[in-house]
């Protein structure tokens, strides 16, 4: 039972003149006395409830009877989105990370916009398909169920029967970590690369002690891709328009990047002479250029035909 339901029950008890307290709340919902007290403190400090403890009745009442709780109910769709955002905030590891993770904790408890901090925290895109994969994998991990997974990455297409064990995030991207047959050989799969995902009835045994040590090696670490690019002139800085230059030999630089799609967008607008490596990035960029050229050509052909 969520804290939203507990708070509404507590509110109803007050309005019925029953003077509820933390002990009654804990007993009603089979939670600890400490958790019940935290719910009451949340009503008082965050929701602004005018709670007053009446010693004679050993319980609470409202000092202002006109008080009404804010609307706390959410649809299943809203809960799914906010659960995903809380997941993303928990794994945020950049500027103001500690503050952002506190927001994650807040999102997990309540989700009223008027009570969220107003600082410009990062905004994460949540496409319907991405949320669907997140929800299915959350259930699969909780039930230790295998999944059929089909995904595409820069190495090609892959399909497998997969044992998902953990959802994580690195560099503004979500991953599910798991294995096919050997728990010590985990594979991280980026959620946005998934094309098809199906939960299977078959289950697997998930020994936390067995897979957690191998998981650290399998998950993406802070190790960037490196692009070898030749420029018209030598670079006079340690960074190329924000991207770190690992090494420079004359006009050729080794440049670090983490997100291929973002880096490609930078290549579209920046000035450079030749992309020497990696080969997979060259193919990706060439394919994109061919697609753009084809679309432009179709537009010219249509214009000539109309004329």
The predicted structure's pLDDT at residue 236: 86
pTM of the model: 0.38
Contact call for residues 194 and 151 (beta carbons, < 8 A): yes
- By the 10 Å C-beta count (0-12 exposed, 13-18 middle, 19+ buried), 103 is classed as buried
CATH number of 3-62: 1.10.10.10
CATH class belonging to 128-218: mainly beta
pLDDT in tens, 205-263: 865 544 444 444 444 444 678 999 999 999 988 888 778 899 999 999 999 887 777 78
The predicted structure's pLDDT at residue 120: 40
pLDDT in tens, 165-181: 888 776 557 888 899 98
The predicted structure's pLDDT at residue 230: 95
The predicted structure's pLDDT at residue 181: 87
Query: Domain coordinates of the chain in residue numbers?
Result: 3-62, 76-115, 128-218, 225-301
The predicted structure's pLDDT at residue 259: 72
Of 98, 183, 35, the closest CA to residue 90 belongs to: 98
The predicted structure's pLDDT at residue 86: 62
The predicted structure's pLDDT at residue 124: 46
The predicted structure's pLDDT at residue 79: 58
Q: Which residues of the chain have pLDDT under 50?
A: 1, 94-97, 100, 110-125, 209-222, 307
The predicted structure's pLDDT at residue 18: 92
The predicted structure's pLDDT at residue 117: 39
Q: Dig out the tokens for 16 from the structure.
A: 């019925």
The predicted structure's pLDDT at residue 207: 59
């Amino acid at each position: 039972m969520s804290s939203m339901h507990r708070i509404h029950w507590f509110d109803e008890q007050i309005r019925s003149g029953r003077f509820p307290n933390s002990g009654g709340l804990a007993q009603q919902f089979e939670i600890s006395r400490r958790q019940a007290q935290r719910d009451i403190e949340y009503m008082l400090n965050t929701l602004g409830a005018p709670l007053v403890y009446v010693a004679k009745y050993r319980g609470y009442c409202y000092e202002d009877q006109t008080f009404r709780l804010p609307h706390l109910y959410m649809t299943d769709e809203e809960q799914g989105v906010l659960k995903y955002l809380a997941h993303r905030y928990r794994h945020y590891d950049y500027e103001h990370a500690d503050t952002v993770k506190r927001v994650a904790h807040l999102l997990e408890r309540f989700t009223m916009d008027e009570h969220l901090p107003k600082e410009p925290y990062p905004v994460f895109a949540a496409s319907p398909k991405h949320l669907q994969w997140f929800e299915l994998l959350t259930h699969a991990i909780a039930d230790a169920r295998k999944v059929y997974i089909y995904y595409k990455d820069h190495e090609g297409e892959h399909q497998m029967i997969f044992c998902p064990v953990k959802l994580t995030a690195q560099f503004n991207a979500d991953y599910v970590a798991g294995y096919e047959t050997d728990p010590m050989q985990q594979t991280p799969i980026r959620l946005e690369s998934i094309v098809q995902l199906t939960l299977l009835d078959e289950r697997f045994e998930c020994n936390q002690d067995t897979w957690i040590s191998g998981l650290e090696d399998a998950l993406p670490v802070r190790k960037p891709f490196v692009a070898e690019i030749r420029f018209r002139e030598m670079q006079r800085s340690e960074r190329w328009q924000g991207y770190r230059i690992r090494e420079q030999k004359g006009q050729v630089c080794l440049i670090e990047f983490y997100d291929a799609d973002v880096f490609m967008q930078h290549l579209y607008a920046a000035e450079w002479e030749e992309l020497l490596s990696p080969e997979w990035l060259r193919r990706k960029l060439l394919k994109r250029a061919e697609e753009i050229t084809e679309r432009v050509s179709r537009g010219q052909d249509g214009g000539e035909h109309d004329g």
